[in-house]
Chains A and B, each alone.
Chain A
Amino acid sequence: MAEALITLILLTIMLQAAWSVTARHTRGAMQLVRRSEMLEAVRISGWVLREELKVSRPGTDWLAHDDSITLRAFRGLAVPCPGASAPGLLVADWDGIREPDPAKDSLLLLEPAGRWRAHGLSRVARVPPCPGGGPTLRLELDDPEAGGYLARVFERGTYHVADAALRYRRGLGGRQPLTPRTLGDESGLEAAGAGAVVVHLRPNGQAGETEAWAASLRLWGQEPR
């Protein structure tokens, strides 16, 4: 009887210990996942915003608001082939991360007077490459008189920190999350003057975790003219 009792007590202690270890293990695993996602969110946010802003001019190409950045998100560079363009038409070597889409893209054209002027795109088609060139596109502009030496294709977009993630909204479309949903209410964007913006990333979770894993990224755009 005594042996059975001791065995039962030992079994209970072991079960308790096992349960405790399992619970701690579960919490640890969840923390691990959250930590991983938080690091991923910080890395993605920093990289994406840094890449977007460093080729843009603050005040002209992007504006920081309380909770968002509205910007011209550049997607590539079109270099007109010599003698192949005409008023309102560019035949250009294309170098970018995706091809232009008239439905959502516009372009900035460097004009002979030295200004960059925005134009709409009405049609885009692939054409045989210019001599010595790479992928070549025929870009029809909405202004029949437009012409220039360089074109930068962009889409309009907004970056938000909302619903626990950094999100991108192209035009008037929906906000697509770019990061795991790990950000807390204190996360957000803040204009910091002099062409800078600060991105505050605070994870959801207990106070200790929030402080330990929080990050603030200060990002700069190009110097305004």
Chain B
Amino acid sequence: MRVRGSGTDGGVRAASGTRGAALALLLLLIAALSGLGTGVLTLARRQALAARTTESVLQARLAAESGLLGLVGGWPAGADSLPVGGQVAGPSHALGQLGASTTTIRRLSSELFLVHSEGRRTPGPATSRVAAAVWVLAPTSRLAAHGAVVVSGAGLTVEKGGRVDGTDTHTVPSGWDPGQCAPLWQVVDSLFPTGEMAAFATLPSGKSSSPWRADGTLRPFEALTPGQAPGLGMIPLDTLANVAAPIGPSMEPSESSCDTPLDVSGLACGRAPGIWGGSGQLEVSGGAASGVLAVDGDLLLRGDARFDGWILASGDVELQDDVRVEGVIGAGRSVRVEDRAVVVASPCAALAVLRSVWLRNPRKMPDFSHLGPLSES
């Protein structure tokens, strides 16, 4: 009995010990699996959080980019009256659930602006800032940078009765309404206080010129492209030539030019300025037009052709017979004026034709359309 009793007691103790080990092991297993599950959940939560943060920042960045593009695409008219160094709030854009943006414009020079856009995700604290340098053509600055009636890279030849005349900066192109020029005389006088304009200047190389003027102030932002064809600041000549309306053997603007946004009020319909030109060897032997005549190549004007405004060519410009140009000329190579051809300085014509809508659209600087990184707001 004692043996059985002892055996029974021992069996109970052994079974009891086994159940205890299993419980402990089970608890360990549960703890381990719980730890693993918690790890997975933690990782998933962290990744989701990181993804949400990235999404928020990207949305804020997109809102900022959108604000910047909106500002450049819809340049506020008030920005042109901003003094150099001045800053003004630009338009704000709401993008619904995607966010919103606010913009600021700071004028760095007559044609150069620094624009900021701050985008934010709504709702949420994420913000992002972007900035860009923007160039806007200012006719006065363009004329000041041009500086002479004829600017070329390889000289000016005047012979056989040809003439380049810069002695009267108040010339009103024949056929123009004098009232069109009247508001410009003050600007013209500030640019050419002697009442005269230099007949010729060499295309600036820009290689050795100091950024500073003699009076210790920074030179205006001229956006020259040394060694290349004369353009209109940041608008290169080949771009102008590409968008130019073709001009035939005779310069007669088409009827449709009266309806283009390039029109300047006050001018007769048939004389509305446009952008004319093309590429290669262009020869025109008569007719009349005004605006910008841009040729990516050589230009020959003959007969009684008449042009008011800017003539820009990457190659040679040759004027023959009774050609009359009132405005300014820029050529990458030489300019030849012969026979009875005349080039008369007309700052009024040069300024007026640059007041076209297309040319006044702002352009992001080709280098670094985005400036950064910027500090967090």
Contact = CB atoms under 8 A, between A and B. Distances in A.
B77 interface: no
24 contacts: A7-B18, A14-B21, A14-B25, A18-B28, A21-B33, A25-B32, A29-B36, A32-B36, A36-B46, A39-B50, A55-B373, A110-B133, A110-B365, A111-B211, A113-B211, A113-B222, A113-B224, A114-B224, A114-B234, A145-B212, A147-B212, A147-B218, A149-B218, A223-B366
A75 interface: yes
Interface string A129-140: 000100000000
Interface string B1-42: 000000000010011001001100100110011011001100
Contacts of A77: 131, 371-372, 374
Contact of A150 (B85, B114, B224): B114
B29 A18 contact: yes
Interface stretch (B104-112, B241-249, B280-288): B104-112
Of B131, B217, B370, B372, the most chain A CB neighbours within 10 A belong to B372
A77 B220 CA distance: 20
Contacts of B29: 18, 21
A112 interface: yes
B259 interface: no
A11 B217 CA distance: 92
B216 A86 contact: yes
B357 interface: no
Given A18-B25, A36-B43, A113 B367 contact: no
Contact of A28 (B14, B36, B217): B36
A86 B216 CA distance: 7
Interface of A: 3-4, 7, 10-11, 14-15, 18, 21-22, 25, 28-29, 32, 35-36, 39, 43, 47, 51, 54-55, 57, 74-77, 79, 81-83, 85-87, 95-97, 110-116, 132, 145-150, 152, 222-223, 225
B160 interface: no
B371 A82 contact: no
A54 B85 contact: no
B21 to A, nearest CB: 6
Contacts of B375: 76, 95-97
Contact of A113 (B25, B106, B212, B226): B226
Interface of B: 11, 14-15, 18, 21-22, 25, 28-29, 32-33, 35-36, 39-40, 43, 46-47, 50, 54, 84-85, 87, 106, 108-109, 112, 114, 131, 133, 206, 209-212, 216-226, 233-234, 365-375
Given A29-B36, A97-B373, A112 B220 contact: yes
Contacts of A225: 366-367
A15 B18 CA distance: 12
Nearest to A116: B367
Contact of A112 (B18, B39, B219, B374): B219
Contact of B211 (A43, A145, A150): A145
B85 A83 contact: yes
A22 B32 contact: yes
A47 to B, nearest CB: 8
Given A77-B131, A86-B216, A152-B368, 15 more contacts: A11-B22, A25-B32, A55-B371, A76-B375, A77-B372, A87-B210, A97-B374, A113-B206, A113-B226, A114-B221, A114-B223, A116-B368, A147-B218, A149-B108, A222-B369
B40 to A, nearest CB: 6
A86 B225 CA distance: 24
A83 B212 CA distance: 12
A96 B373 contact: yes
A99 B14 CA distance: 75
State the 3 A-B residue pairs at the shortest beta-carbon distance, nearest first: A82-B85, A114-B223, A147-B211
B114 to A, nearest CB: 6
